[in-house]
Amino acid sequence: MQPFFSDIVFKKKQLYEKHFAFTPFAQAAFAQNTGSVKYEQVIKLDMTPEMKAAMHGVVLPDQKTSFELFFSEEESLYKKLDTKEKNKSNVVMMGADADYFFYVNLAEKKTLEQEEFLGKRFLISGDWTNRDWKVTGETKMILGHPCLKAEITDTLGGITAWFAMDVKVPYGPKGYGQLPGLILELKIHDKTTIRATEINLKPLSEPIKKPKKGKKVTAEAYKTIKEEKLKELQDSYRQSGNRQVIRIGG
């Protein structure tokens, strides 16, 4: 176990043992470090008064998407599930996770993110850098698994994660992780909530494969591409008056 994970486990060891460590479920599941988790992601679309006026009273529902995370002790792959849902409103959803994969190699601390943006695929390489999580000590059960609460703040606001102490892999949705347990619930900036709906702790039927499709770019280059294209679309639709562009992703 890496030093960062060991520090958190040591600090919360007594709390964990008091609440969970000797339950039959915990003893049976403690060694399960391979499996898959299905998640539902819900994004609240906050619209400005100007957007609401331009939409002529149309209220957009929360955006719901299904994902699945496959994991082992060495790597993980988070992917969007094909639900055949289509956007029927007169709105362009930027960052709506079409054709989305996020791969983590734990040993190399590297990531690969495959994302489709405006009809083009990109393969974004990055580093799996440490996050300064603060474990609060709050506990709750999720899908029968004892979980601890952890928090972090970035430039856009607060992020809350609930991780399972009996599934000792440091993974989670969308590349979040680096906690001493699998993330089963994640809330990002009070807008995006990702909750586990099903967890299977058993050997995977096939090896985890890295995403390979798309133009290879760095995370910094991809951020620049998205920002430039978003501005172009906003300017174009503002002039035409036809559609609204709402950015719901990163």
Q: State pLDDT tens for residues 24-47.
A: 333 334 346 899 999 999 998 766
Single-letter code of the amino acid located at 96: A
Pairing status of strand 110-117 against strand 134-142 = unpaired
pLDDT given for residue 21 in this prediction: 43
pLDDT given for residue 29 in this prediction: 40
What is the CA angle 118-234-175, rounded to 5? 50
Question: How distant, in Å, are the alpha carbons of 24, 112, 139, 212 from that of 247?
Answer: 45, 22, 33, 26
Signed CA dihedral, 7, 10, 11, 13: sign only: positive
pLDDT given for residue 183 in this prediction: 98
Helix or strand holding residue 63 (H, E): strand 63-71
Q: What residue spans of 86-204 are helical by DSSP H?
A: none
Other beta carbons within 10 angstroms of residue 219's beta carbon come to 13
Distance, first Cα to last Cα, the chain: 30
Query: What is the chain's length?
Result: 250
| Segments of the chain scoring below 50 in pLDDT | 1, 4-31, 86-90, 92, 245, 248, 250
